[in-house]
Structure 1
Amino acid sequence: MRIVRAKDYEDMSRKAGDIIAAQVITKPDCVLGLATGSTPIGAYKRLVEGYEAGDLDFSQVKTYNLDEYRGLPGDHDQSYRYFMNTNLFDHVNIDKANTHVPDGLAEDYEAACAAYDEAVAAAGNQDLQLLGIGNNGHIGFNEPGDAFVRGTHCVDLTESTIQANSRLFDSIDDVPRQAFTMGIGTIMAARTILVMANGEVKAQAVHDMIYGPITPACQASILQLHPNVVLVADEAALSLC
């Protein structure tokens, strides 16, 4: 795992954004695995700025997002489809038909999850997979548990994740209790994995991801087995390393 140290959130966003931009420039028809949440917003802003400056072309890029809340339609302002449109897709020249987010309203969710994995594989898997890391070490919505789940699946969110996400909703009661998420196998199929982390609240999870035992109690620890992981983190997130 290669560690890129950043001074703060802005520096982290710039460095991570530049890594994603380099992937797009190097392979214009690349497949990107994308993440949501507050961590990558600055990196997406960097990509939009690159497009507006004429340096980036997303017309051939395909994207597959990590996850989506179960029960939220794509036009709900807290859905991850809405997040991606608002923070990136609406501001660059990407073909929306080439952007993919799990269907939060899928009735036969097992079939929908299997189809999502098949679509990622048919696209050739991710050239670059962007990840954040949860306070409890989750990646995507793969929560601490007894096993690493290989494929895209439906998960029950832990209380800590619900609490962490409640700031985005009017009430904690409005936070969905389940989500669809790429599994560990789908994530690990990416040729490059880029992890972003900022803030002291992520320090223990970052430490356990890098130095802890490989255990489903910290889902991010599986990344120790991937041959090409880049961690871009600020000083606070790296304070225990």
Structure 2
Amino acid sequence: MRACYLSQIFSIIVQNAPFFLYKTCAELPRIKQHWFRQSNATLDFDSFTKCDFCSQLCSGFFYEIDEYWDMCLRCAKVADIIECEGHQHFLFFDFKCTEKCNGCGDDIYSGAFRCGKCRFALEFGCLTLPHSALHKIDEHKLKLTYHDDKEQCYCDICEQYRDPSLWYYSCSICDTSAHIECVLGQCPFLKDGSTVAFYKHSHGHHLKFFWKVEGFPECSKCSKFCQEEIFKCKESTCDYIVHCKCLDFYV
């Protein structure tokens, strides 16, 4: 079991089978003061949780703030005043911000990072996106890109329209461009094989997450074929299988 789902750039210093810890994870403070609500953040661990800040499903260590908010490690590293490659000015967190996110275009309801000089705003989810990612559509790493000067833009993965004003991933060598979700998928920070307890979702049994699935089983919710990012029931007598996007979570 891994204690996080960050990229594998740290040496493993603990191997007490089947548990592995990177040096960075081993040195995480158990309790730290966090700028959000000026509260203590307590380190916790779960094979499955949903970050209340970036809304991503994730595995491993996370911080719990005031015993109410769960914050993934990626969001926990973000300061309240930041610089962002996608904007020329400093951004600060505004609890009352109700602009649209300039990264994804979604409406903002519960605060975001915004610019004090213009109306630029970013949610945690866009602010913590990986700066580069691999995808089978291109032999090179795709780079997070912030604006496209083309008038007509399409995603090379789903072949659907892509808004040129929103962030996307691209390869300048191959002229590849794609939606962020098409590149990362719906659960990029969820560990393959993670168990989701029955009380965290709408199915009555424990579920197991898989990046890939053999064959093309039918989704129990939408009846479409499943190929990747699926949850499967752990009960041997239950054949429940569902897309990540089709499952209702209670976290």
TM bin (shorter chain): under 0.3
Structure having the larger proportion of residues in strand: 2
TM-score of the two chains, using structure 2 as the length reference: 0.23
For the pair shown, the structure with the greater C-alpha radius of gyration is 2
TM-score of the two chains, using structure 1 as the length reference: 0.24
Structure having the larger proportion of residues in helix: 1
